[in-house]
Chain A
């Protein structure tokens, strides 16, 4: 079955960088686009970014554009989110999620358990 496991979260100071990862298994990772979605404490879901199956296309939410970079290593079945110039408002649980079967960019139902990123001095 599809398994997505995020890691790399933690406490980081404002203005610093952090990279979170998502290890995928149970499906052909290189055939699927992947998303990052975040959820601030006590708040709703916010879409962050999408990367195509081969990494050639990447799109970002306006709130993170220019600061965050989504990437993937299909040889390692791993998705990444590099977060630079972090702000307090980036504090959230970060989820990776697979696209819906049959689509390139539509968010689907396979999500990881999330990793918490806390931006605080």
Chain B
């Protein structure tokens, strides 16, 4: 049940694109196409942005996209907006457990 590895912080200017990586193992990300990404603003509950590696829930902007290769998943946000500034967590199914990344703080400059 080791945490997935994410960069602690990333930043970008409005209109730019950023990518957040998430590295796991063959027991979690590498073994299941069940990676999710959550956005969390301070004091709020997490919001699901991506599920099943690449799918967006209804209502989530198509500026958010994601992918997976081997044991690493990635979230890309294009056309950065001020409202995207938040913490982002990757999450993977791992059999009978669930594992999160440590979180990445996105700063929109």
Q: Given known contacts A62-B1, A106-B34, A106-B93, is B98 in contact with A50 (CB within 8 Å)?
A: yes
Within 8 A of B (CB), among A66-101: 95, 100
A interface, size bucket: 20 to 34
B34, B46, B57: the one contacting A45 at CB < 8 Å is B46
Inter-subunit contact B100/A44 (CB<8 Å) = yes
Verify if B109 is at the interface (C-beta below 8 Å from A).
Answer: no
**Contact residue among B48, B87, B98, B103 (Cβ-Cβ distance under 8 Å from A47):** B98
Interface residue B29 (Cβ < 8 Å from any Cβ of A): no
CB contacts (< 8 Å) of B40 on chain A: these are 45
Q: How far is the CB of B96 from chain A (nearest CB, A)?
A: 4
- Bound Cα distance from A96 to B103, whole angstroms: 19
Does B89 belong to the interface (CB within 8 Å)?
Answer: yes
| Complex alpha-carbon distance, A73 and B52, angstroms | 29
Write the chain B residue with the least CB distance to A45. Answer: B100
In the complex, the answer to whether A59 meets B102 with C-beta atoms within 8 Å is no
Closest to B47 in A: A109
**Chain A residue with the shortest CB-CB distance to B99:** A47
- Is B73 in the interface zone, CB < 8 Å from A? no
Instruction: Report yes or no: B99 in contact with A109, Cβ–Cβ below 8 A.
Output: no
Interface string of B74-109 (1 = CB under 8 A from A): 000000000000010101010011111111000000
> Chain A residues in contact with chain B, CB under 8 A?
35, 37, 44-47, 50, 59, 61-62, 95, 100, 103, 105-109, 111-114
A-B contact pairs, 14 of them (CB 8 A): A35-B98, A44-B3, A44-B100, A44-B102, A45-B103, A47-B97, A47-B99, A50-B96, A50-B97, A59-B97, A100-B36, A105-B93, A108-B48, A109-B51
